Amino acid sequence: MLECRRKGIPQTVYLNNGFIDTNKILDKIEKNSPLIKKIALLNEKERSKFIFQLSGEHWTEFPDSLKEKTYLKEWHISNTKISSIPSYIALFQELRILELSSNQITDLPVEIGCLKNLKELNVSFNRLKTVPPELGKCENLEKLDLSGNLELMELPFE
């Protein structure tokens, strides 16, 4: 409300039954104002709290601290020497995107089937030989990329 007062917007314009009508405020405040930029930055910071990113050939395993961040919604891990996914991945019930391209992963844990909210799985350009049938339990999976796994000969029926 302070920003509205500074902009000269009368109280009756932005209050509706004692509650702030944000649509009216945004109509009155210029789109490029510092307040709007600050809100956008805060939204991006909030969103980035839920994303884990890791890349670089010096990584051979996941950091121990990762298992405590079960609120994560996205993992983006690429171009590492990581060869396996830890079984504690089952704890990440909010995980939506699992991007694991261009690593050294040889197999996926059966616990991947516990990720009921998983929508995208990219394990392209790894060293997968098999895919666990439990992957079929990921009922919300919309996108699966297994390309570039030259030793992967067949997929489970599930």
Closest alpha carbon to 84 in 65, 59, 113, 119: 59
Return the minimum-mean-pLDDT range out of 33-47, 78-92, 144-158: 33-47
3-class DSSP state of 80: coil
Instruction: Give the pLDDT mean for 94-98.
Output: 95
- Contact predicate 113/138, CB 8 Å: yes
Q: Is the pLDDT reported for residue 94 higher than 80?
A: yes
- Rounded to an integer, what distance in angstroms lies between the CA atom of residue 53 and that of residue 77? 6
Chain centroid, CA 45 distance in Å: 13
Q: Enter the tokens of residue 80.
A: 């590492």
Q: What is the mean pLDDT of the chain?
A: 81
Residue 115 phi/psi, 5° resolution?
-85, 80
pLDDT at res. 57: 92
Q: Enter the tokens of residue 14.
A: 């932005």
pTM: 0.68
pLDDT in tens, 61-92: 999 889 999 999 999 999 999 999 999 999 99
- Rounded to an integer, what distance in angstroms lies between the CA atom of residue 55 and that of residue 62? 11
